[in-house]
Structure 1
Amino acid sequence: MTPTHFTISSAFLLGMMGLAFHRTHLLSALLCLEAMMLALFIALSLWSLQLDATGCSTAPMLMLAFSACEASAGLALLVATARTHGTDHMQALNLLQC
């Protein structure tokens, strides 16, 4: 495994572990998801550069656009949750309490 692959894999796994173990606030969960998406973007970009394929060069930009849409939707949910519940703690978010 090259150092580049190790760095990208460890960044993705750190984001996944942060999402799994530190779920106290909604904002921290969204940041972990964004870190995972950025690691995937870098991996996909480097993969298309290594293959010298021009057909695969649009995939990282498309993924980055979807990641930006996901981040904006997550922040909109964060604002809506903070307004309705008064906090962004994950313990306060219960789907049975509408």
Structure 2
Amino acid sequence: MLVMNMMFIFIMMFLMGNMIFISKYKHLLIVLLSLEFLVLSIFFFLCFFLSYFEYNFYFLMVFLVFSVCEGALGLSILVSMIRTYGSDYFQSFNLLY
């Protein structure tokens, strides 16, 4: 019963992150936050899955390294976009320059 409750929580976290990612596409900051929420839900799922089957947690460290690199890259794009265009709206800049 505990396994089914945990799977329900992981699926709901993942679906909520996807709904936010799809519905709030106008601001880059909200998109980045929803991506980090998706990464966090996948991390919790992997942690539960690996501990349930009693595997090693080395893959989680690799996953965290890549997720931190993804977050740093997203923040650098956000800072560059705000310095160049003045906001994080996707509609405020033109790609045809």
Q: Normalising by structure 1, what TM-score?
A: 0.90
Aligned residues with identical type, % of pairs: 34
Q: Which runs of 5+ in 2 are unaligned?
A: none
The root-mean-square deviation of aligned C-alpha atoms, in Å, is 1.3
2:76: which partner in 1?
Answer: 76
Aligned residue identity for 2:86: G
Moved more, 34-43 or 58-67: 58-67
Partners of 2:14 and 2:75 lie apart in 1 by 21
SS in 2 for 1:2: helix
2:53 pairs, out of 47, 51, 54, with: 51
**How many equivalent residue pairs?**
95
> 5+ unaligned residues in a row in structure 1: which ranges?
none
Per-residue deviation at 1:58? Answer: 0.8
Q: Which aligned runs of 4 or more in structure 1 are off by greater than 4 angstroms?
A: none
Counterpart-to-counterpart distance in 2, 1:61 and 1:3 = 26
